[in-house]
Amino acid sequence: MSGAIPERAVELLGEVRRRRPRIHCLMNSVVPKFVADGLSALGAIPSMTSSPEEVGHFVAKADALLVNLGTLDAQRREAIGIAVDVADEKGRPWALDPAHCDYSPPRAAFAQELLARGPAVLRANAAEYDLLAVPADVVAVRTGKADRIAWNGAVLHVENGHPLTALVTGTGCLSGAVIAAFLAVEADPFLAASAAMLVFGIAAEMAGKTATGPGSFEPALLDALASLEGTHILQFAKADNEQG
Ligand SMILES: Nc1ncnc2c1ncn2[C@@H]1O[C@H](COP(=O)(O)OP(=O)(O)OP(=O)(O)O)[C@@H](O)[C@H]1O
Ligand SMILES: Cc1ncsc1CCO
Ligand SMILES: [Mg+2]
């Protein structure tokens, strides 16, 4: 299966750029601009409002939703409840990022409740991931030096990436948004998440070739998300099924 994933990633990146899906992001207060810029660079359209009065309308017509639990507060919790209700009603795919749930038991409990509400994908760093029980119907993405994507017994490792990614706050948040963008154009959530992680990892590698540190890496990553071509994916993809 892994042999076909780079080829599908090329097609899906083309679909994102052609269709320009709108991704509604319930984002934390730390990195909304970076996440919105990353989605725009990729070819999608970000929307970011988290007001409870408006979020339902934004989600109803969005192509996919990202729920990120960073800087969670009472209003964000209310907005997340409404957004997930509407995504459910309208059949919009959504991804969950349980940001920093490892620092706060109430947040971990909320993340676990949300996992039962049917996100297509969970994207978490290793510490967050280890705390949660991911239901069988949710694609589980654990990011780190290598990214691991698991669903229904299929497990893919994506080895692409660059160490500077770990030094820029919000790259995990942006990777969740990229997953949501691919969910908007691909009904198979394992394929969508795999393609997204491949594209993100290869863009990071390209950015790492010119960056001299985290400060220059951040804009270089945005540039790479915009300039990445299908040939780069086919040339650089390092994706393998987990050996049992
Ligand atoms: N050592 C590393 N080498 C290469 N890439 C890495 C490394 N560590 C993390 N990454 C990449 O950095 C991105 C962020 O992953 P990480 O697991 O650090 O998420 P995170 O902690 O949620 O990030 P943030 O909260 O800052 O958004 C992912 O794309 C991941 O593949
Ligand atoms: C640092 C930080 N704190 C809350 S959200 C966020 C960005 C993603 O880690
Ligand atoms: Mg995070």
Task: Give residues whose Cβ lies within 5 Å of ion ligand 3.
Answer: 99, 172
CA of 92 from ligand 1 middle (Å) equals 26
Residue 87 belongs to domain with CATH number: 3.40.1190.20
Number of domains in the chain: 1
Dihedral sign, Cα of residue 192, residue 193, residue 195, residue 200 = positive
* Six token digits for residue 71: 């800087």
Q: Best substitution site from 143, 145, 158, 160 to test ligand 1's pocket, by max atoms within 8 Å of Cβ?
A: 143
Report percent pLDDT > 90 for the chain: 98
Give pLDDT tens digits for 48-102. 999 999 999 999 999 999 999 999 999 999 999 999 999 999 999 999 999 999 9
Structural domain of residue 23, as residue ranges? 5-241
How far is the C-alpha of 178 from the C-alpha of 110, rounded, in Å? 23
**ipTM summary value:** 0.98
Q: Does the beta carbon of 166 sit less than 6 angstroms from any atom of ligand 1?
A: yes
Strand partners, 140: 122, 150
Residue 130: how many other CB atoms lie within 10 Å = 10
Q: Read off the pTM.
A: 0.98
Region of 44 on the Ramachandran plot (φ > 0 left; ψ -120 to 50 alpha; else beta): beta
